[in-house]
């Protein structure tokens, strides 16, 4: 077991033992190779079914951080900038009145994507 695997395993076991989480699964890939595969706790506390490497977890909004990171890297590389209208790189995004949305507004999730609603596209971030 690698040092990284041990560190992650201890961390997630601590989360379960503290009561912060019922069950946790962590996988880390580096250059396409699985380097950490750690699990702890229960997938279903009612049946005492443990978390395994194959346990599926529900997650919401987890892609937002990854998307934001990719956008910032692409801006840094000059692929587009924050003032670029999203429709210039993704024409279908312009549906339902979003044709003037900029990368900066979309990156801030301020255009009501996903039916979130309640956003004022003219508001200053």
Q: Which residues are catalytic?
A: 61
Q: Cα–Cα distance between 45 and 102 in angstroms, integer?
A: 45
Residue in 2, 15, 16, 18 with CA at minimum distance from that of residue 50: 16
Give SS3 for 59.
Answer: coil
DSSP letter (8 states) at residue 51? P
Count H helices and E strands in the chain, helices first.
3, 3
Q: What is the pLDDT of residue 109?
A: 57
Q: Which residues pair with 102 in a beta bridge?
A: 85
Place of tokens 């900066």: 104
pLDDT in tens, the chain (125 residues): 799 999 999 999 999 999 999 999 999 999 999 999 999 999 998 999 999 999 998 887 778 888 888 999 999 999 999 999 999 999 998 888 888 989 888 766 555 544 444 444 444 43
């Amino acid at each position: 077991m690698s040092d990284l695997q041990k560190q992650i395993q201890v961390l997630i076991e601590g989360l379960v033992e503290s009561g912060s989480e019922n069950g946790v699964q962590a996988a880390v890939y580096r250059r396409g190779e699985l380097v950490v595969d750690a699990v702890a706790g229960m997938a279903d506390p009612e049946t005492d079914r443990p978390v395994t490497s194959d346990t599926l977890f529900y997650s919401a909004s987890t892609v937002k951080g990854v998307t934001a990171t990719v956008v910032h890297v692409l801006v840094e590389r000059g692929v587009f900038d924050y003032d670029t209208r999203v429709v210039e790189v993704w024409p279908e995004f312009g549906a339902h009145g979003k044709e003037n949305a900029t990368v900066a507004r979309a990156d801030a999730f301020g255009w009501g994507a996903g039916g979130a609603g309640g956003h004022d596209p003219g508001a200053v971030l």
